[in-house]
Structure 1
């Protein structure tokens, strides 16, 4: 009776696992399947952070024509004198058109500063894209690794089923204890439980990818593995040279320095006077008449402040901003160098670990399992040793899947540190 309850519980567990796998398969069939290139296109087109950043850049660019435009003209009318405050008895009427003009070069410098700021915003958008693309690649390769881990667990269940059958045959021939069968069953149940955990991790990775590409996080998603060529790890100094010309953070700091330098030039132009032109038409038919051909012209100079106190302070502030921007470019370059060096060493480490796994650990684990299974099937081996060999093989296969995904993620991090966008 105990055995019947035991096998009944096993049957129930199999049913639950089969039901879960069928449900996952149904979701996968309904999901929209995309490869990395398609995910990248969705990221650029749908991620709301790009829309927000692009509108910020357009907002700055829209100020450039405003900076170049002439100052607003001012139109006025003067009645003088007005005897006893009676406007209808005004003895003189004049109409004025006043136009303020900046010293030559001031408006162009202001527009150039805004252009540099817009270029800086564009570089920041490129930096945002590089950053989000690295996150997308990380989630993508992690998802592929989790899917491979799920397949490894399914293969483990199949191997343990084989072990159960071998133990069952030996038990029927009085060559092994029933506990061997039960131990294999316990190990199989553990592998089944790992599948459920892996499926949960897969769902989290899918939700993260959906969020990055601007979709509903719970929307079904199925990713396709994309073939990658052999790793061509260029020398570190070449990557540093490449980053100098393309990294968005470096271009951003360069544009900020350019804006700061032009701001210094604009601050120095504050020493030069602006001009105000006033054109007056004098009417001989007050208070509202326009008749008459008498005109007046007035030219005013808007001089700097007494002893140039305000102008000196403006130049000092602009110089401080330029020195800060120069330091910022140096900080940005040092940070990029550090990121590239760290990412480069991480790739080298993962490459070494992957080579060790593929060349030694994985072949040895497979050979040990085959030898242990052959020995046990021929009544010459210990079942605990066979279970240990199977567990070592499973752990090594999972490590290989983890290392493979880790290498792809490390390469994505290295690309991001150099400032690469789409391949």
Structure 2
């Protein structure tokens, strides 16, 4: 008896392993964890290749700062003179000297060059923040679009259930000689069209999931599930408050401010070109050539590296830097106007969507639901027109889809407004 039980247990274990292997071959897999919008944003920041590229470009600029502050390379030389008969007659030279040459920039030049690089690094950092804001807005758009498509899929299934109900009512009326058979056939055609909508919506869901996967740096074919979160509050501050908030927050404005700072530092550095640099040469002379170090005679030479004749190059450099400052000032003004315009457009769009949502919730949805119930009850009681019932059902479906998409549109419009202000997930 014990051997028999052991044999049965082994068979059960083998059967379980076989089923598990069959499940793997058929593509059975555990459902992926549903990701929240914040988790998607974290994946975006951590894995999107554009951020890796942008971060490394900023790191390159920052690595140039200590190079700009470092002293110029020293130069060591050796001279043998005089050398009779041939310059290659080293052993015949009568004297030699060792020389150490060091060039030093006029005080302040290197600091200004480092300041320019620091401003450029700040500009690169602001551009990274701007990239995040833009990609986050696209992520939110795809996320809310996916939620709307999933809601549309549920509406499609509800539509199939209603059409099944209409088919049964038409069938009963036809059996009682109260309706033509064409009513049942029309209901069947409408049901087939609704099934096609189910397939199309599923394809759109898969395409949106693939786009989201690509955006967060994953394989497009990787399974993806998103968590349904409560819709964001759409209570809007005034346009003036939002514009003022963007003034100190938007990455493009910080980028233009850093560019202006760099341009002004470049102008200061161009003006420093009028001042001479210094070259110091230390010399040790020896009377024991060719390689002897004996002797204690030393020399010091100080040279001034003067600006070019008549300051032509320096004048052109200052003119170039002045033009750069004016250009940066115009760029900062243009960036501010573009931010204001983006906020105004996004604000107007969101206001319009909010009004559409209120109209749907307060009037269109209740009217469509009441019209469908009335048409169904009337037709079921051997009265009313079948085409009117199908029309009422189609109007209800269209209204439900409009409600689903207006919710998505409102959240996408809010995401666009956040992007226009310069808000990210970490912002209040």
- Asked if 1:78 is matched to 2:79, the reply is yes
- Alpha-carbon separation, structure 2, partners of 1:92 and 1:411: 83
Look up the match of 2:401. 398
Within-5 A mapping of 1:248-267: 248-267=251-270
Instruction: Encode CA deviations 1:348-367: one digit per residue, 9 max, x unaligned.
Output: 00000000011000100000
- Alpha-carbon separation, structure 2, partners of 1:156 and 1:291: 104
| 1:142 to 1:229, Cα distance in 2 relative to 1, 3 A | closer
- Alpha-carbon separation, structure 2, partners of 1:229 and 1:333: 27
Match of 1:129 among 128, 132, 136: 132
Look up the match of 1:368. 371
How far did 1:27 drift?
A: 8.0
- Alpha-carbon separation, structure 1, partners of 2:284 and 2:233: 82
SS where residue 96 of structure 1 aligns? Answer: strand
- Asked if 1:314 is matched to 2:317, the reply is yes
| 1:170 to 1:189, Cα distance in 2 relative to 1, 3 A | same
Q: Is the 1:28–1:220 Cα contact (8 Å) retained in structure 2?
A: no
How far did 1:218 drift?
A: 1.3
- Alpha-carbon separation, structure 1, partners of 2:103 and 2:219: 54
- Alpha-carbon separation, structure 2, partners of 1:30 and 1:344: 39
How far did 1:33 drift?
A: 2.1
Q: Is the 1:354–1:400 Cα contact (8 Å) retained in structure 2?
A: yes
How far did 1:230 drift?
A: 2.5
How far did 1:89 drift?
A: 1.2
Within-5 A mapping of 1:82-231: 82-85=83-86, 86-231=89-234
Look up the match of 1:232. 235
Q: Is the 2:342–2:420 Cα contact (8 Å) retained in structure 1?
A: yes
Within-5 A mapping of 1:274-423: 274-422=277-425, 423=427
Look up the match of 1:33. 34
Q: Is the 1:100–1:275 Cα contact (8 Å) retained in structure 2?
A: yes
How far did 1:228 drift?
A: 3.0
- Alpha-carbon separation, structure 1, partners of 2:235 and 2:358: 15
| 1:319 to 1:311, Cα distance in 2 relative to 1, 3 A | same
| 1:375 to 1:29, Cα distance in 2 relative to 1, 3 A | farther
- Alpha-carbon separation, structure 1, partners of 2:325 and 2:28: 57
Name structure 1 gaps, 5 residues minimum.
1-25
- Alpha-carbon separation, structure 2, partners of 1:27 and 1:323: 64
SS where residue 380 of structure 1 aligns? Answer: coil
Instruction: Encode CA deviations 1:252-278: one digit per residue, 9 max, x unaligned.
Output: 000000000000000000000000000
How far did 1:29 drift?
A: 5.0
SS where residue 257 of structure 1 aligns? Answer: helix
SS where residue 180 of structure 1 aligns? Answer: helix
State how many pairs are aligned: 398
Q: Is the 1:146–1:201 Cα contact (8 Å) retained in structure 2?
A: yes
SS where residue 395 of structure 2 aligns? Answer: helix
SS where residue 248 of structure 2 aligns? Answer: helix
Instruction: Encode CA deviations 1:66-102: one digit per residue, 9 max, x unaligned.
Output: 0000000000000000011221011110000000000
Instruction: Encode CA deviations 1:129-175: one digit per residue, 9 max, x unaligned.
Output: 00000000000000100111111011000000011111111111111
Look up the match of 2:246. 243
How far did 1:287 drift?
A: 1.0
TM-score, normalisation: structure 1: 0.93
| 1:369 to 1:164, Cα distance in 2 relative to 1, 3 A | same
SS where residue 246 of structure 1 aligns? Answer: coil
How far did 1:180 drift?
A: 1.1
Q: Is the 2:232–2:411 Cα contact (8 Å) retained in structure 1?
A: no
Instruction: Encode CA deviations 1:9-53: one digit per residue, 9 max, x unaligned.
Output: xxxxxxxxxxxxxxxxx8895334211111011000000000000
Name structure 2 gaps, 5 residues minimum.
1-26
- Alpha-carbon separation, structure 1, partners of 2:29 and 2:180: 42
